[in-house]
Amino acid sequence: MASNYDLVVIGGGTAGLVSAAGAASLGARVALVERDRLGGDCLYTGCVPTKALVKSARVAHLVKNSGEYGVRNLGYEVDFPAVMGRMRRVIEEAGEHDSPERFRKLGVDVFLEEARFESPYRISVDGRFLETQSVIVATGSHSTTPPVEGLEEAGYVDHVGALALKNLPRSLIVVGSGPIGSEFAQVFARFGSDVSLVSTSPLPLPKEDPEIGEILRGVLVSGGVEFHGGYRAERVRMEGGEKVMTIINEAGHEREVRGEEILVAAGRAPTAGSLALENAGVEIEEKGLTVDEHLRTTAPNVYAAGDITGKYLFTHVAEYQARNALRNALFPVKAKVDHRVVPWTTFTDPEVARVGLTEEQARREHDGVQVFRQPFGGVDRAMADGETTGLVKIVTGKRGRILGGHIIGPDAGNLIHEVVLAMQKNIPVGTLSTTIHVYPTLAQANQRAADNYYREKLFDARNQRIFSAFFGARRGIYRLREKARRWA
C-alpha cells in the first residue's frame, strides 16, 4: 500500500510537531512519523521535567534560608517521591498539547512506528509506503557516554535515568559540567545528596564567558557541590556498596570520588541510526546531518530541523529551524536561516543566560571592543529580593554595536531578551541606557550596564577637555553679565 503526501515529517519532538502542524494549517497533506511518543526529549526527559525539579530545588533552598527574610525556619523535609510525582504531573499537563489526537484533528496522519528511507521520495512505515514530495527529518539527539573503564560494570544513569529515580541518592557523582550536569548537580545538592561534579574544564559551563563560569563555580561550591575542575573520569570500581571513581588531570594527578550513584552528562549525538539515510543520499557527520543555509540536506527534497542538524541543541532553535525548513520544503522561494543571534539559558540558581560572543571571542574577531558590567549587588530590586549574586555583562564593538550579552543572576533567562532584541535589530548599547525602565525591577541591571557606555564617553580625556572649555566659557559669560548688571 502507498499513500501520497506533500510532506512527511520524521520525528515527533518540537521541530517535528511545529513542522507538521504548520504544514497542515497551510492545507498540505502531511504525515508525521514518530517511533515513540509525540513530544520528544523536551517534554519527557528534557526542558519540562528538569525545570520542574529546578523549581522544587529552589523552593527547598528558599525554605532552608528563610531566616534571611525574617521568616523563622521551623525545619523542612524534601519528600523526593512527592517531588518526582509533581514532575510527572507537569509532564502530563504539558503533554496534552502534543497528543496524537490533537494532531489528527489538525489533519495530520500520525504513525507511531519506525521510519526508513527507501528513496528520497519514499518512506516505509510498518509495511506501508509513504510517497512524498518533501521530507523534514527531525529525529533529535541522544546522550553519549565517555569511555571509562569499569563504568558499565558499576552502573550509571544519564539524565533520562536520573528522572526515573525512585529514591534520592545519598551521594552522587556527576560527570560533565555543561548545562545538564550543572543543573542536576545543584538540584540534587539542594535535595540533600552529597554531590561531586567532575569537569574536564576548569570552570562549569565551559562554553560560557569565563567570568560567568567563575561566579557559577562559587555558587555551586557554596551550595555544597564538590567541584573537581580540570579532571576527567579514568576508571570506576565498586567498594563497600559505593561506586569509586578515579579522576585524573592533565598533570597526571589522581583523585578518588565516591557516590551511591553516577550521573553521566558528558555529551550528545544525532539520532539517525534506523533511518537508512544512505538510501536517500543524505549525508551525516559526527554532529548531525549535513545541511546548507536553507536547512536542505544533500538530498534536494530532504530538509532537517532541530538537534539532528547539530547546530544548536535548544528547543527554541528547533522551533525556529522548523519554521524555516517547512517554508523551504513546501515552497520554491527559499529562506536562509540566521543563527547570528541565538540566546540560551542554563537554569541553575542564579540562572546563566547568553547571546552572541564572549569577551574573548569578540577581542579576537573585532576592533574597538568595550565591555560594560553591572553587578546585581548595585540593583535595588535585587537587594530587596536578597538575590544579589551575579552581573550583567555587555560586550560591544565600534559605535556601541552589541556583540554579546552575558547574564548570571536572578531571572537571567528573561532579562537576556532585551539584549537579544537589540542585537537582532542592530540597536546600539546606548539606546538601552536612554530607554526608560520601570523602577524597581531587575531589568534595570541591563540599563545600568549600558549607562557605563555614556560614562566612558563623558570621562574620555578629549571630551573632558571640551567640557572643561565649555564650562569655563560659560562661567566667563556669567561673570561678564554680572559686571554688566552692576554697571547698569
Q: Is the dihedral of CA 56, 57, 60, 65 positive or negative?
A: negative
In order of 33, 187, 228, 233, 280, the CA distances from 196 in angstroms are 40, 12, 7, 12, 46
pLDDT tops 70 at residue 223: yes
Domain 350-458, CATH number (from 3.40.250.10, 3.50.50.60, 3.30.390.30, 1.10.10.10): 3.30.390.30
Provide the pLDDT confidence category of residue 187 given band limits of 50, 70 and 90: very high
Q: Which three cell numbers stand for residue 127?
A: 509495511
Distance CA 483, CA 217 (A): 65
Report the 10 Å Cβ neighbour count for 224. 15
Distance CA 4, CA 2 (A): 7
Report the 10 Å Cβ neighbour count for 96. 9
CATH number of 2-143+269-330: 3.50.50.60
pLDDT, residue 486, reads 81
From the list 262, 217, 200, 206, the residue with the least C-alpha distance to 236 is 262
Ordered strands of the 242-249 beta sheet: 231-239, 242-249, 254-259
Averaged pLDDT of the chain: 95
How long a stretch of residues is the chain?
Answer: 488
Is pTM beyond 0.85 here?
A: yes
Binding-site residue set:
51, 139-141, 176-183, 267, 307
Report the 10 Å Cβ neighbour count for 422. 24
Q: Which three cell numbers stand for residue 373?
A: 558590567
Intervals of CATH 3.30.390.30 along the chain = 350-458
- Average the pLDDT over 312-338 and give the result: 96
pLDDT tens figures, 442-488: 999 999 999 999 887 766 667 667 767 787 888 888 888 888 888 86
Q: Is the dihedral of CA 1, 131, 325, 309 positive or negative?
A: positive
Burial profile 350-361: b = 16 or more Cβ within 10 angstroms, e = fewer: bbbbbbbbbbee
pLDDT, residue 453, reads 92
Q: Which three cell numbers stand for residue 235?
A: 576508571
pLDDT, residue 1, reads 58
Please, what is the Cα angle at 125 between 122 and 128, to 5 degrees? 75
Binding-site residue set for FAD:
51, 139-141, 307
Q: Name the range with the highest mean pLDDT among 188-192, 239-243, 471-475.
A: 188-192
pLDDT tops 90 at residue 2: no
Contact 291, 297 (CB under 8 A): yes
Burial class (CB in 10 A: 0-12, 13-18, 19+), 198: buried
pLDDT, residue 480, reads 81
pLDDT tens figures, 40-89: 999 999 999 999 999 999 999 999 999 999 999 888 899 999 999 999 99
Q: Which three cell numbers stand for residue 333?
A: 522561494
From the list 102, 96, 95, the residue with the least C-alpha distance to 24 is 102
Share of the chain above pLDDT 70, in %: 98
- Average the pLDDT over 136-142 and give the result: 97
- E strand spans, 384-431: 391-396, 402-409
pLDDT tens figures, 428-445: 999 999 999 999 999 999
Greater model confidence, 399 or 488: 399
Intervals of CATH 3.50.50.60 along the chain = 2-143+269-330, 151-266
- Average the pLDDT over 382-408 and give the result: 97
- Average the pLDDT over 97-125 and give the result: 96
pLDDT tops 70 at residue 305: yes
CATH number of 151-266: 3.50.50.60
Q: Is residue 4 helix, strand or coil?
A: strand
Which of 30-34, 52-56, 218-222, 309-313 has the weakest average pLDDT? Answer: 309-313
pLDDT, residue 477, reads 85
Binding-site residue set for NAD(+):
176-183, 267
pLDDT tops 80 at residue 380: yes
Q: Which three cell numbers stand for residue 223?
A: 551550595
pLDDT, residue 454, reads 87
Report the 10 Å Cβ neighbour count for 176. 27
Those residues whose C-beta lies under 8 Å from the C-beta of residue 132, and which sit 6 or more positions away, are: 4, 5, 6, 7, 8, 31, 121, 122, 123
- Average the pLDDT over 158-186 and give the result: 97
Report the 10 Å Cβ neighbour count for 348. 24
Q: Which three cell numbers stand for residue 96?
A: 496534552
Distance CA 405, CA 357 (A): 7
